[in-house]
């Protein structure tokens, strides 16, 4: 299997290193035509707005959406998760273009600014069942997003407690209304068919189980065409939400 790693910005080199560590071939992807030669794709973490601008400049979005629809495995980490989400909130003015396909709502920088980055042991029973090893995984969260809602076909692989400061912001913004402010945990890893997404950075650890898990994913979406959407199509949904968090620059 040849795995493409979107190499516009962010931690693509770390993903390539992790792939080499488990004996797999990884190639950098910067042009649409390069996607034709790979069997799977990783969209790494980085600065999602910058990555979106570069992808738009290189006219990559149409090719990326088509790649998702093929049923080939696609994994988004951190910023890559944002790209794959059908809906995103907490964005800068004007929003950003999304690839879509993953039936979830993500908050762009749910856990706060760079200073609120953290590490935590996550419970990962599905990963341990498939790949062996311990039942926990060290999640590295760097200015990280979180998944607030998922659709019925999305399998939750890991969740995370909401840090006290983030919970305080949530309560202030929600003004005691029901919603995410009533939960003390948020989703940070999911799978839907051929799509895998993590809010944290497995490529920054020496534990390669997520990469192995990803490479074993099969085309199990039943041949269904995944629907992709951009932020312009989600304004009505966002207006219904009683909560949002500060947008950290």
- Which residues are known catalytic residues? 78, 201, 203
DSSP β-ladder status, 118-123 and 195-198: unpaired
Tokens describing residue 13: 């080199």
Nearest partner of 170 among 234, 70, 236, 242, judged by Cα: 242
Phi/psi for 126 (5° steps) reads -65, -40
| Burial class, 116, CB count within 10 angstroms (exposed 0-12 / middle 13-18 / buried 19+) | middle
């Amino acid at each position: 299997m040849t795995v493409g790693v979107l190499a516009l910005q962010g931690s693509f080199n770390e993903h390539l290193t992790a792939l080499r560590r488990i004996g797999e071939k990884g190639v950098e992807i910067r042009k649409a035509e390069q996607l034709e030669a790979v069997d799977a794709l990783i969209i790494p973490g980085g600065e999602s707005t910058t990555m979106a601008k570069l992808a738009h400049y290189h006219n990559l979005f149409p090719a990326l959406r088509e790649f998702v629809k093929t049923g080939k495995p696609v994994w988004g980490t951190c910023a890559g998760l944002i790209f794959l989400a059908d809906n995103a909130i907490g964005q800068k003015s004007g929003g950003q273009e999304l690839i879509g396909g993953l039936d979830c709502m993500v908050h762009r920088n749910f856990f706060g600014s760079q200073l609120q980055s953290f590490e935590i042991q996550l419970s990962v029973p599905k990963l341990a069942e498939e790949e062996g090893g311990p039942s926990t995984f060290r999640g590295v969260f760097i200015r990280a997003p979180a998944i607030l809602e998922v659709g019925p076909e999305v399998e939750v692989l890991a969740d995370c407690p909401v840090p006290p400061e983030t919970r305080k912001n949530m309560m202030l913004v929600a003004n005691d209304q029901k919603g995410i402010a009533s939960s003390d945990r948020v989703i940070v890893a999911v799978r839907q068919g051929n799509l895998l997404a993590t809010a944290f950075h497995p490529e920054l650890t020496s534990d390669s189980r997520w990469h192995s898990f990803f490479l074993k994913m099969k085309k199990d979406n039943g041949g269904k065409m995944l629907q992709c959407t951009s932020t312009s199509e989600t304004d009505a949904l966002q207006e219904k939400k009683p909560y949002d968090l500060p947008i950290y620059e």
